Amino acid sequence: MKQALLVFLGGGFGSVLRYFLGKWLNNLESALPYGTFLVNVVGSFLIGLVLGYLAKTTTVSENYSLILAVGFCGGFTTFSAFAYENYLFLKHGDYLSFFTYTFVSIVLGILAVFLGLYSSKLL
């Protein structure tokens, strides 16, 4: 139960920060969603930083991984987890899985948005 609470707290902080950054930066006079772009890139950097540091040290509790990587980065952006998973594919030389996972995730994600928008019109 403690682990779930850590993920919950980290996720809450990440989600709120993502909300405020998106609200601030996505309202700029531009067609580009700078807030979303920023949180995706920063979240990817943070999950790499956190997991990289935790992988090289044995003095830090697994709880830090739960609150920072799973919770905060997961709440801040799910793109960070996607990016890290793709890094692992590349690190292990699994290029087929890398390309398949990336392509299918992006295409199905976009299609899912269209499907959700279409379905919402039927309600």
Residue 118 has pLDDT above 90, yes or no: no
Residue 23 has pLDDT above 90, yes or no: no
User: Is residue 29 very low, low, confident or very high in pLDDT (cuts 50, 70, 90)?
Assistant: confident
User: Is residue 10 very low, low, confident or very high in pLDDT (cuts 50, 70, 90)?
Assistant: very high
Alpha helical stretches, state H, the chain: 2-25, 34-56, 62-64, 74-76, 79-91, 95-122
In a domain, 94, yes or no: no
User: Is residue 121 very low, low, confident or very high in pLDDT (cuts 50, 70, 90)?
Assistant: confident
Distance CA 14, CA 46 (A): 11
Please tell me the predicted confidence (pLDDT) of residue 54: 87
In a domain, 116, yes or no: no
In a domain, 107, yes or no: no
Q: What is the pTM of this model?
A: 0.77
C-alpha count within 13 angstroms, C-beta hemisphere, residue 104: 7
Q: Domain of 39? A: 2-77
By the 8 A CB rule, do 101 and 92 touch?
no
Please tell me the predicted confidence (pLDDT) of residue 28: 74
Please tell me the predicted confidence (pLDDT) of residue 88: 93
In a domain, 85, yes or no: no
Q: Locate 120 and state its tokens.
A: 């919402």
Domain total of the chain: 1
